[in-house]
A and B are shown apart, each in its own frame.
Chain A
Amino acid sequence: MANKTISVTVNGGSKTSEVEPRRLLVHWIREALGLTGTHVGCDTSSCGACTVLLDGTPVKSCTMFAVQADGRRVTTVEGLQQDGKLHPIQEGFKEEHGLQCGFCTPGMMLMGAALLEENPDPSEDDVRWAISGNLCRCTGYQNIVKSVQWAAKRAASEQPGAHA
C-alpha cells in the first residue's frame, strides 16, 4: 500500500510526515519523532506503557495506526511539562515515590493527568480504577495512587483564588 502523508499536532507543534499505513502510532512517535518517553511493553494493549493522549483522551498507541491520528492532537509524556515547569502529576510521582524503574511511568502519569481533568479530587478507588488499564511491576500501585492524589492537591492549591 502506498505511503500516506499525515499531519498531527504533537505536544502543541505540528508534525507532518509520510508513513506506511501499517505503521503503529507508537512506532511513529518513537522512531519518526524521536519521542522515546512512550514505551512498548506488551504488544497486546494490556500494559499501557504506550499510553498517549489523543485529543485529550488516553489511548494505547500500540493499538492505533499512525494514519488514524491524522489531523488530531497527541500529547506524550514529553508534552506534560509547560515552559520547563513540571506538571503537578510529574511532581507528584517524584514526591510520593510513584516510580521505580520508570518504564510504566509515562503512561501512568498521562492516565493520572487525564483523570484529574475530569475529576480534580479523586478518591483512592477512583485512581485505582482509572489506572487499572496500566500495569506496573515495581511499585505495587500504592504510591502511584498517592502521587495522583498529591497532584490533585497541588493543582487545587495552584488554582486562582485557592488558599496556599
Chain B
Amino acid sequence: MAVEEKEMPWVGRSVKRKEDDRFVRGGGNYLDDIRLPNMLHMAILRSPFAHARIEAIDTSAAEAVGGVVAVVTGELLAQHKLAWMPTLSGDTQAVLATDKVRFQGQEVACVVATDPYVAHDALELIDVEYEPLPVIVDPKKAVEDGAPVIRDDKEDQKDNRIYHWEAGDKASTDRAFSEAEVVVALDTHYPRSHPAPLECCGCIADVNPATSKTTIYMTSQAPHAIRTVFALVTGLPEQNIQIISPDIGGGFGNKVPVYPGYVVATAASLLIGQPVKWIEDRTGNLASTGFARDFHMHGELALKRDGTMLGLRVGMLSDQGYAYADAQPSKFKAGLFHVVTGSYDMPAAHVVTDGAYTNKAPGGVAYRCSFRITEASFLIERLVQNAAYELGMEPVELRRKNFVRPEQFPYTSVTGFVYDSGEYAKALDVALEKSGYEQLRAEQERLRAEGRLLGIGVASFTEAVGAGPSRDYDILGIKMFDSAELRIHPTGKAILKLGVKSQGQGHETTFAQIVAGELGIPPEDVTVQEGDTDNTPYGLGTYASRSTPTGGAATAVVARKIREKAKQIAAHTLEVSADDLEWEGDRFYVKGAPEQAATIQDIAFAAYTNHPQGMEAGLEGVTYYDPPNLTYPFGTYVVAVEVDAQTGEWKVRKVVAVDDCGVRINPMIVEGQIMGGLTEGFAMSAMQQITFDEDGNCMGSNFIDYLLPTAWETPAFELHATVTPSPHHPIGAKGVGESATVGSPAAFANAVVDALAHLGVRNIDMPLTSGKVWEAMQQARSS
C-alpha cells in the first residue's frame, strides 16, 4: 500500500501536510505571537447603544492613567480625514464614530498604552455622553416609508435602501408561472451567523519614523488588496506599505474586510512613532466584524404536474447592518445569489434582491461560500423538496428529472452563469447507493407506524467558485486574477510565491504538489510563500474557494513556462535539438535513448552555471492567471436524522457526502475541507445564529450565547467522490473549500422537515432548534 502511494503521481496523492510540523510543536506564528521592540498596545471602546447621538467624549481621566500614551477619538481622526473609510463594496463605514453610533459594539475611541491591561483599564475611564435614538433591527421595517434614516451622514441617502438588483428575465418567468400546473412557495430566513474563526482579528502597525516605511502585520485573507485600499485611504505611497499576513487561525470570510482597528492602529503608530498592536477580543469579533447571511428569502417554483420545472421566482431582502461591507464583486450587488437555479435546467428565472440598512454591525461577508451562494443553494434545495411533497414525487426523482444533463455542458443558465462541467445524476446515484437511501425510506415508513420520526434530507448543490474571470469580477475595480512566481534555485530546490493566502487550507502542501506534478521537484523541496506583499506577486487573496482555481492554475502555468525554458537548457547540456527531447516526470530525455537525460535538478544547476549563450541565466518565472470562467463543483449530500416526537430534539444518524470538485490534488486535504464545511452546515442548521433584541442588543457576542458545535454534537461523516474535471483549469481542478458549507445546510434542514412532512410540516427556519421543531409539530397536530 505504502509502495503504491509512493509511485502515484504527485497530483492526486495524499501527501502529509508540510505545515503541520511547526503547528504541532506550538511553533505557529500567529499575529499575537509577534512582538516588536517598543511595541504599544491598543484597546477599543465600543458603543453600548445600537443607535445614539454622541454628545460629548471626555478622555482626560483615561489620558491621566500611568502607561497610557494616547487616546484616539473620531474627532482626532477627522482632523486627518480618517474618521470614515470605504468598504469593499464601495460604501463607507466609520473608523471611529464622530456624529452617531449606529450599532451596538461600534468603535468609539481607542487607548494606546504600554501594556494591554493598562489600555483596558483606561477604556473604563473614558466618559461618553450618548443621546439614544430609535433603533431599527428589522430590515422589513427599515425599508418602510417614514423609517428613521440610519445613514443620514450620507448626503444622498434619503431612506434605508442600499441596492436593488435583478437577474434573469421577468417577462419569461411570468409566462412560465402562468403556464404552471403547480406552484410551490417558500418563505424562509437564513439567519445571521458569524464565521467565528478561532483566532480573532488583529494587527501590528509599525510606521518607521525615519524611513516612513509602514509595515502592518495583519490577520488578512487578502493582503495585497488591503495594501491598495490602505494606500488609497491614507494617501501613503503604496511602495512604502508592506502588509504581512502571518499564520492565520482560520478566516472563513471574516478576515477579508478592512476593520477600524487596523486603521486606528496604523494612524496611532504614525502619530506616536512606535509599533502599535491591536488584538481583538471575542466580543469585539462577534459584535463588530463581518457577520454572515441574514437573508429574508421568498421563493416560488413553477412546475408541470409531471415534475418538469418551468420557472423560478425569488425575492430577497438582505439585512446589511449599518454599512454595506461585503467583499463583493462590484457588478453583483447580492453576490452570486443569482446562481439560485442550482443544479437544474430551469427555463426561466427572475431574481429580485434588495439590501437594507439596520442598526447592526456592518457586513455581511460570504462566510465560507462564494459570494452568497450558500443562501441560494439553501433556497432552491428546500423548494425542490417541498415541490416533491406537493407533487407526491420522490424528492430525488424530481431532482434527477430536472438536472442539467452531461451533454448540456457548457450550460448557460438563465441568470447568466456558464456551468463548466458536471455529472449531477452520477453524484446523486453514488450518494443514494452509499447512504442506503431506499432502505432508509423503508425504515422511515416502518418507524412512522411506531410513532417514531426518521427524516431523510437530500441536497444536490452546484457552486460557482474561483473568481475571476476579470471581465466580470473585481473588488473596488481591482480585477480578480491571481498570481504565482516560481524560482528554481541552482540546487534544484524551489520557492513558490503566491498572491493567495492560506488560513489553514494547506496551501504549503497543495501548491507544492502542483509544482511537483509539473516539474518533478518533490514537494518537500518547494517552499510556498504567501502573505507578504513585499515578497509575493499581487493577488486578490483567499476566499470564495478561489485559491486553487486561480493561484493553483497560475502555479501550473508558470511551472509549464519554466519547463519550456528547461527544455532549451537540457538541449544545450545534452547537445541535442530540443525537438529530440521528451519530458517524463522530472527529466528530459533523448527520444529513443532514455539513459541520456537531464533531470530538473541538473537543468536548474546548468541554468546558473552553464546556460546557453544568448539565453538569460536563471530558471524562474511569474504568471498572472485570469481564469476564462468560474469553476462549478457540485455534489449530493444525504442526511438522515431521528426526531424525538415528544421533545423536538433531533440527532443525526448518517451523513453521506459525495463531492465532485474535479481533479483532487491532495485528497486528504480536500476531505478535510469537506468535513469542516459539513460541520459548519450542521452548525447553521442546528444552533449557530446571532439575534438582536428590539433595542439592538447583540444576543450572540460570546461563545456562551453564540453556540458552536463541539465534538460531542458533531456527527460523523462518510465521504465519497466523483471526478468531473474542469475543462478550462490547467489541471482540471475546481474549488472545494466551501462546497459543504454551501450544500449541507439544506440537507440537514430537509432531513428534519422530512421527518415531520407526513404531519404537514413544510418549513422550519434555521437553526432548527428543538423548541422550533416541537412548535412545528404542535401546530401541525392541532391543525
Contact = CB atoms under 8 A, between A and B. Distances in A.
Interface of A: 20, 22-23, 30, 35-44, 46-47, 49, 76-78, 80-81, 86, 90-91, 93-95, 97, 99-106, 109, 124, 127-129, 131-145
Contacts of B199: 39, 41, 101, 103
Contacts of A38: 26
Given A101-B249, A135-B708, A143-B675, A46 B702 contact: yes
Q: Which 6 pairs of residues, A with B, have the shortest CB-CB distance?
A: A37-B26, A101-B504, A103-B249, A102-B23, A46-B703, A140-B679
A144 B198 contact: no
Nearest to A142: B675
Interface in B449-497: none
Contact of A137 (B17, B247, B281, B708): B708
28 contacts: A39-B199, A41-B198, A42-B703, A44-B282, A44-B704, A46-B702, A76-B26, A78-B25, A80-B25, A90-B24, A93-B20, A94-B20, A94-B24, A95-B16, A97-B669, A99-B24, A101-B199, A102-B19, A102-B24, A103-B197, A103-B198, A105-B23, A106-B26, A109-B24, A132-B711, A136-B711, A140-B679, A141-B679
A135 B703 contact: yes
Contacts of B716: 124, 142
B616 to A, nearest CB: 40
B717 interface: yes
Interface stretch (B28-36, B166-174, B619-627): B28-36
A20 to B, nearest CB: 7
A116 to B, nearest CB: 15
B668 A102 contact: no
Main secondary structure of the interface of B (DSSP, over half): loop
Contacts of B671: 97
Interface of B: 16-17, 19-21, 23-28, 30, 32-33, 117, 195-200, 247-250, 252, 281-283, 503-506, 668-669, 671-672, 675-680, 702-704, 708, 710-712, 714, 716-717
B708 A128 contact: no
B24 A139 contact: no
A102 B282 CA distance: 18
Given A37-B25, A137-B197, A143-B672, A102 B247 contact: yes
Contacts of B712: 128-129, 132
A83 B363 CA distance: 49
A145 B711 CA distance: 9
B676 A140 contact: yes
B24 A44 contact: no
A140 B713 CA distance: 10
Contacts of B25: 37, 77-78, 80-81, 86, 90
Nearest to A107: B198
Given A35-B26, A141-B714, A101 B704 contact: no
A143 B671 CA distance: 10
Given A135-B198, A140-B717, A42 B282 contact: yes
A106 B712 CA distance: 19
B250 A36 contact: no
A39 B710 contact: no
- Counting chain B CB atoms within 10 Å of each CB, which of A35, A102, A133 scores highest? A102
A100 B117 contact: no
Contacts of A37: 25-28
A89 B445 CA distance: 45
Nearest to B284: A43
A49 B711 contact: no
A77 B704 contact: no
A102 B504 contact: yes
A47 B197 CA distance: 11
A78 B27 CA distance: 8
Nearest to A111: B711
Nearest to B285: A42
Interface of A is mostly: loop
Instruction: Among A40, A103, A144, find the residue whose CB has the most chain B CB atoms closer than 10 A.
Output: A103
B21 to A, nearest CB: 7
Contact of B676 (A46, A91, A138): A138
A139 B503 contact: no
B703 A104 contact: no
Contacts of A127: 711
B24 A86 contact: yes
A99 B19 CA distance: 10
Contacts of A102: 19-20, 23-24, 28, 247, 249, 504
A156 to B, nearest CB: 20
Nearest to A130: B711
A120 to B, nearest CB: 19
B283 A139 contact: no
B740 to A, nearest CB: 9
Nearest to B27: A37
A20 B675 contact: no
A40 B678 CA distance: 25
Contact of A23 (B117, B198, B679, B714): B117
B23 A99 contact: yes
B717 to A, nearest CB: 6
Contacts of A134: 710-711
Nearest to A44: B702
A103 B250 contact: yes
Contacts of A140: 675-679, 714, 717
Contacts of B250: 100-101, 103, 137-138
A77 B703 CA distance: 24
Contacts of B680: 137
Nearest to B708: A135
A8 B247 CA distance: 30
Of listed A91, A106, A134, A138, residue having the most chain B CB within 10 A: A138
Contacts of B200: 41
B28 A103 contact: yes
